[in-house]
């Protein structure tokens, strides 16, 4: 279902030959209207891939007719030629669909610093366009996978309207988004300003708080397209809630499929003076390699949690910090708490609560453990 | 030699039984004067171990008679009892040596959140004091090891005066220092203000730029003690240079012994607008887990270098960035440069140059690759 669950959308996913192994690598998502309102959120990395630079321009009009996505190459750090390639891809989609190129967003994912094989990609656009279908959402989701072991989709259906989406990403997940490509669609009838507001509110508390390895991609893109095909204009809060649900679900799927991970770690910071403090502390804990190794070893090493908290500028007193791991308060008032032997670490889910005892704000960051498999996968990626 | 290379110092290293495996775990360094000037630099982690809190107070007077160091336990996050234990340790040293406790610095290293076995540590102080010797520097350096595979010492001798030192540390190395304990001694005749100036200038460009895994310890301490026993007062610049040399040498030894590392990576940032920019960019590159995995796999993945640069606030234009790996400019003007096949990655030393093309400032950060061995070592540390 994914991007074709909402009315007014067709999609396709095919193997264009960009990937040498012959796996699907090209996806097309088309908004058939009647409306073509859209919003987008992009990587905050200052080294942006050509498709990000292009799509940022496309989104300025608040109108998107189609999204073309490829795996098998990020088209990042590819200079003027890379940008020309992105432009040519959008032109090709526009030509095939009979739309304007400036309404075609482009997303790419894969290795940085390699030009895309345009002799395969452009014919692939024609093939994909010929296969566009109201049932093509699944195939599109499959075609954008890189090291993902599974494809990721999510749908929320409300009273007469729907929000659905697909995502790819499995590592290099970090704030300001991650190497994730996400396309969300809805048949609700809304303008681009409303979409933008709802999308930013949702990504701030979902994808922005998924931090698998602290590395930020050059290609992150989250797009939300609205066809208006349901004829329904929902209340803003209800719509924003649905978008947040889909983003949250997709974000959780990304974490569960993170490269080499054996544990999914929920870092919940409570009683912070401000939400920013809570996020800063959560991220510091989530990025601590030593802690991530300890969790991998099923070791409730709360000292590494405190050490990570100590590097932040958040409001707290060291002798008032409390830490729970899987429900056991192993650290109380900055020192030894309940017996660490009580902590059951056998399961994939690990829940760390850091109590700053400095206020009433909270935030949750999702991360993974650090494993030998992560090292192996990322040692061999481009060789 | 190490801390006893300079005249006026005695040292000892013994097995007090703090470590369950019976290895040496207690060191004592004594300044026999005639002067007892000292300076210290401590972790900037806000969660500070008891010995750090104590020694910060000791250093306020600018006078240190003795340093007692233990491995086998960090005495961090141990509450009021932990601080009492540190105090009792200083008192014991003072009693045995006939000095004031407020002139005894204390350093601890090991697992966080565990109280020290004082019934073993205090008798150990007596044993160590009985073995104090002008040749005890080596034994002291051995007694402070934790996961270090070798002990680390360095000596610079000038015209009539000497700076020597010992260090421990092998992982959890990061800015604002690392889990490193360092004691430097000199027989130069200098006041504590001069020592402080020279020590801060040296650590800023040496230990502060060693960033093995981005994790900052609760216990980092670097002390510089001056006995004045040579009767020589060197020029400030010459003295500062000698301190920097010893710190640089010890810092390099720490990197070479980092937990699980197979590559030592020198990240040199050139043509930055400011030195702060250069340090920020160097640290971002040095902390990028994906790049560190790539280097482990002998993959000159310059895209990950650019991706890391892109997350900083330093002055640069993405299309003017250049990156060399082991002398080959694999990235030019933000895009593909020389053939990456030319990069020889067979050796332990890896040299990354990031040219920001934005000014004339430079900085070098030292780090390691990320390996499965690092994961294994840090998964099993406390279990």
Q: Interface pTM (ipTM) of the complex?
A: 0.80
Q: Strand A221-226 vs strand A37-42: parallel, antiparallel, or unpaired?
A: antiparallel
A179 is in an annotated binding site: yes
Q: Calculate mean pLDDT across residues B298-304.
A: 91
Dihedral in degrees, nearest 10, Cα atoms A245, A248, A250, A256 = -140
Touching A: B residues 86-105, CB under 8 Å:
none
The verdict on B317 touching A (C-beta cutoff 8 Å) is: no
CA A153 centroid distance within chain: 12
B146 is in an annotated binding site: yes
pLDDT at residue A289, as a whole number: 85
A280 is in an annotated binding site: no
pLDDT at residue A174, as a whole number: 43
Domain locations in chain A? 2-256, 264-379
The verdict on B339 touching A (C-beta cutoff 8 Å) is: no
Q: How far apart are CA B225 and CA A132, in angstroms?
A: 76
Spatial CA neighbour of B218 closest among A310, A281, A292: A310
| A48, A375, A377: best to mutate for the B interface, most B CBs within 10 A | A375
Query: pLDDT-derived band of residue A170, with 50, 70 and 90 as boundaries?
Result: low
Alpha-carbon distance B216 to nearest alpha carbon in chain A (angstroms): 7
| A116, A217, A280, A303: best to mutate for the B interface, most B CBs within 10 A | A303
The verdict on B309 touching A (C-beta cutoff 8 Å) is: yes
pLDDT at residue A27, as a whole number: 97
Q: Calculate mean pLDDT across residues A16-43.
A: 95
pLDDT at residue B254, as a whole number: 86
Query: pLDDT-derived band of residue A219, with 50, 70 and 90 as boundaries?
Result: confident
The verdict on A294 touching B (C-beta cutoff 8 Å) is: yes
Q: Do B303 and A172 touch (CB under 8 A)?
A: no
Does the pLDDT value for residue A142 go beyond 50?
yes
Does the pLDDT value for residue B18 go beyond 80?
yes
Chain B partners of A376 at a C-beta cutoff of 8 Å?
372
Touching B: A residues 205-234, CB under 8 Å:
213-218
B79 vs A214, A334, A383: nearest CB: A334
| B219, B292, B311: best to mutate for the A interface, most A CBs within 10 A | B311
Tokens 């510089």 identify what position? B224
B113 vs A46, A213, A303: nearest CB: A303
Touching B: A residues 240-269, CB under 8 Å:
none
Q: How far apart are CA A281 and CA A287, in angstroms?
A: 10
Q: Which CATH number fits domain B2-256: 3.30.470.20, 3.60.70.12, 3.20.20.100, 3.40.50.300?
A: 3.60.70.12
Joined tokens for residue B197: 């100036």
Instruction: Please state whether A182 falls in left (phi above 0), alpha (psi between -120 and 50) or beta.
Output: beta
A296 C-beta neighbours (distance < 10 Å), count? 27
pLDDT at residue A51, as a whole number: 96
What crossing angle do the helices spanning A118-130 and A79-97 adopt, rounded to 10°? 20
Indicate the average pLDDT of chain A.
91
Who wins on pLDDT, B137 or B213?
B137
Q: Do B310 and A336 touch (CB under 8 A)?
A: no
Does the pLDDT value for residue B48 go beyond 50?
yes
Does the pLDDT value for residue A178 go beyond 50?
no
pLDDT at residue B380, as a whole number: 67
Q: How far apart are CA B372 and CA A264, in angstroms?
A: 19
pLDDT tens for each residue of B215-264: 677 888 999 999 999 999 999 999 999 999 999 999 888 888 877 889 99
Burial of A22 (0-12, 13-18, 19+ CB in 10 A): exposed
A274 C-beta neighbours (distance < 10 Å), count? 15
Chain A partners of B335 at a C-beta cutoff of 8 Å?
77-79, 82, 113
Strands of the sheet containing A9-14, edge to edge, are A9-14, A26-31, A66-70, A104-108
> Which positions of B are annotated as active-site residues?
179
What residues does A264 pair with on adjacent strands?
A349, A368
Q: Calculate mean pLDDT across residues A235-251.
A: 95
Indicate the average pLDDT of chain B.
91
A274 is in an annotated binding site: no
Q: Do A303 and B172 touch (CB under 8 A)?
A: no
> Which positions of A are annotated as active-site residues?
179
pLDDT at residue B117, as a whole number: 97
Instruction: Please state whether A41 falls in left (phi above 0), alpha (psi between -120 and 50) or beta.
Output: beta
Spatial CA neighbour of B66 closest among B101, B94, B104, B12: B104
B293 vs A301, A311, A379: nearest CB: A379
pLDDT at residue A210, as a whole number: 82
CB A357 within 8 A of CB A317: yes
Percent of chain B with pLDDT over 90: 75
- What is the three-class DSSP state of B185? strand
A168 is in an annotated binding site: yes
Q: Calculate mean pLDDT across residues B90-115.
A: 94
Touching B: A residues 140-159, CB under 8 Å:
none
pLDDT at residue B157, as a whole number: 95
The full 3-state SS of A85-125, as one line of letters, equals HHHHHHHHHHHHHCCCHHHEEEEEECCCCCCCCHHHHHHHH
Who wins on pLDDT, B329 or A290?
B329
Does the pLDDT value for residue B174 go beyond 60?
no
The verdict on A336 touching B (C-beta cutoff 8 Å) is: yes
Q: Calculate mean pLDDT across residues A39-58.
A: 93
B120 is in an annotated binding site: no
Q: How far apart are CA B55 and CA B50, in angstroms?
A: 9
**Domain spanning A264-379: which CATH class is it, in words?**
alpha beta
Percent of chain A with pLDDT over 90: 75
Q: How far apart are CA A222 and CA A13, in angstroms?
A: 18
CA A127 centroid distance within chain: 27
pLDDT at residue B326, as a whole number: 97
- Give the chain B residue nearest A316 (alpha carbons): B46
Touching A: B residues 15-74, CB under 8 Å:
44-48, 74
Q: How far is CA A166 from CA A86, A95, A298, B237, in A?
A: 21, 25, 32, 62
Q: Do B79 and A335 touch (CB under 8 A)?
A: yes
Percent of chain A with pLDDT over 70: 95
Alpha-carbon distance A227 to nearest alpha carbon in chain B (angstroms): 35
| B289, B291, B373: best to mutate for the A interface, most A CBs within 10 A | B289
Spatial CA neighbour of A282 closest among A297, A296, A269: A269
- Give the chain B residue nearest A112 (alpha carbons): B303
Alpha-carbon distance A3 to nearest alpha carbon in chain B (angstroms): 29
Alpha-carbon distance A374 to nearest alpha carbon in chain B (angstroms): 8
Alpha-carbon distance A315 to nearest alpha carbon in chain B (angstroms): 11
pLDDT tens for each residue of B69-98: 999 999 999 999 999 999 999 999 999 999
């Amino acid at each position: 279902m994914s991007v074709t669950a909402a009315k007014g959308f067709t999609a396709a996913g095919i193997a264009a030959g960009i990937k040498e192994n012959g796996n699907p690598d090209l996806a097309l998502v088309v908004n058939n209207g009647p409306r073509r309102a859209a919003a987008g959120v992009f990587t905050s990395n200052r080294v942006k891939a050509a498709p990000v630079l292009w799509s940022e321009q496309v989104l300025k009009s608040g109108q998107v007719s189609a999204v073309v996505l490829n795996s098998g190459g990020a088209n990042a750090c590819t200079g003027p030629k890379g940008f020309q390639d992105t432009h040519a891809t959008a032109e090709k989609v526009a030509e095939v669909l009979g739309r304007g190129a400036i309404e075609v967003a482009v997303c790419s994912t894969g290795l940085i610093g390699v030009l895309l094989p345009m002799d395969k990609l452009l014919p692939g656009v024609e093939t994909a366009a010929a296969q566009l279908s109201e049932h093509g959402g699944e195939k599109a989701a499959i075609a954008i996978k890189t090291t993902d072991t599974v494809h990721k989709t999510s749908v929320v259906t409300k009273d007469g309207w729907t929000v659905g989406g697909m995502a790819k990403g499995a590592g290099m997940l970090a704030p300001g988004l991650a190497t994730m490509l996400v396309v969300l669609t809805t048949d609700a009838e809304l303008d681009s300003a409303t979409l933008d507001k709802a999308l930013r509110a949702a990504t701030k508390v979902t994808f922005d708080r998924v931090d698998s390895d602290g590395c930020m991609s050059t290609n992150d893109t989250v797009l939300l397209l609205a066809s208006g095909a349901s004829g329904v204009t929902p209340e803003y809060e209800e719509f924003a809630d649905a978008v947040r649900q889909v983003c949250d679900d997709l974000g959780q799927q990304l974490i569960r499929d993170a490269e080499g991970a054996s544990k999914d770690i929920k870092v919940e910071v409570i009683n912070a003076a401000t939400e920013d403090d809570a996020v800063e502390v959560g991220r510091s804990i989530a990025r601590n390699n030593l802690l991530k190794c300890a969790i991998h070893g099923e070791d409730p090493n709360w000292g590494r949690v405190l050490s990570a908290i100590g590097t932040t500028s958040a409001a707290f007193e060291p002798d008032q910090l409390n830490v729970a791991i899987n429900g056991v308060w192993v650290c109380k008032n900055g020192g030894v708490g309940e017996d660490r032997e009580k902590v059951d670490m056998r399961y994939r889910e690990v829940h760390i609560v850091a109590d700053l005892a400095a206020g009433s704000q909270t935030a949750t960051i999702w991360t993974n453990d650090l494993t030998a498999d992560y090292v192996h996968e990322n040692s061999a990626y481009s060789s």
